Structure 1
Amino acid sequence: MTPLDSYDRAILRILQTDNRTSQQKIGEAVNLSAPSVQRRVRRMEAEGVIAANVAVVDPAIVGLPITIFVEVELVSELPTDIDAAKQIFRDAPEVQQCFYVTGEIDFVLVVVVESMSAYEEFTRRIFFKNGNIKKFKTFVSMDPIKTGVKVSV
């Protein structure tokens, strides 16, 4: 991977705020030509620095107003059991983010649902029907103060 220089970092800061910013505007902001910006962006995409170009959707506006954080502890931590849990969480559309973590718990999930009854159905389907879930702990978000992923570069 090519080391990131100050131009790359400046481009990334702009793209993380609005990835639809034109290459011309980015070039003006970082003192590069638009073709140079384009080459750098393509390189960073090819090298995986830029992992995706996506639309960040407000869950509440699309009918998913409840965000829930869930700590999950497994019964068995054998690699095959951990991999199976990862796949279950990866496949669940309600799970927006999933982290395999160190410490007393095994996973932290970010779940979005339309209602608490929908969350109850999710817990029955994902946790209670799974013999490898030892326990889970739920935290319901009251107010999303800061969301999204923006890396300081």
Structure 2
Amino acid sequence: MPRKPDDIDAFDRAILRILQRDNKTPQRTIAEAVNLSAAAVQRRIAAMEKSGVIAANVAIVDPEALSLGVTAVVEVFLRDERTASIDRAKTLFRGTPEVQQCYYTTGGTSFVLIIVTAGMRAYEALTRRLFSDHEWVASFRTLVALDRVKSGAELLVP
């Protein structure tokens, strides 16, 4: 069960700031930075992992290092907003590794996706699989990124 914001104190927030920059920071280094014992830091990190505050520990990989040169922001428009259509889209997008991020949105666009592929041919094949082959997708609009100015997963911890 996720902790409430009131349950996250100043020590937890300081620990989160450090872990978001580098989750391999040794606990003794974190402890020194936040004025706690290493054991206390370890307990707090474990509690935040158990409660879901820390959702995952991952490596952020540079797509270019893997020859993944196309990043696209895609707006998806569903034919209708029935629960079945929305649930089908969510399931499909969640299960597609090229979809890096997926947001169910308001304002006329049903979903906004961040997609990374090796090239335009791979992107075209993916759009056929994700959009053209499903009658519940009305249309989609693609914005191809020219340059990645900023990318990350670090949240502002007040």
Q: TM-score range by the shorter chain?
A: over 0.9
The correspondence for 1:60, drawn from 44, 61, 64, is 64
Q: Identity of counterpart residues, as a percentage?
A: 52
Displacement of 1:90 after TM fit?
Answer: 1.0
Aligned residue in 2 for 1:24: 28
Which residues of 2 match residues 44-59 of structure 1 at below 5 A?
Answer: 44-59=48-63
TM-score (normalizing by structure 2): 0.94
Q: Which moved more, 1:16-25 or 1:137-146?
A: 137-146
Alignment of 1:113-124 (within 5 A): 113-124=117-128
Matched residues in 2 for 1:26 and 1:88: separation?
39
Cα distance in 2 for partners of 1:93, 1:11 equals: 30
- 1:5 pairs with 2, 5, 9, which one? 9
Give TM-score, length-normalised by structure 1.
0.97
Which amino acid in structure 2 is aligned with residue 99 of structure 1? Y
Q: 1:92 aligns with which of 89, 96, 103?
A: 96
Runs of 4+ in 1 over 6 A off after TM superposition: none
Unaligned runs of 5+ in 1: none
Which residues of structure 2 form unaligned runs of 5+?
Answer: none
Offset at residue 25 of structure 1 (A): 0.2
Query: Per the alignment, in what secondary structure is the counterpart of residue 127 of structure 2?
Result: helix
Alignment partner for residue 144 of structure 2, among 95, 120, 140? 140
CA separation in 2, counterparts of 1:90 and 1:7? 34
Q: CA deviation at 1:60?
A: 1.1
Task: Give the distance between the partners of 2:70 and 2:77, measured in 1 at CA.
Answer: 22
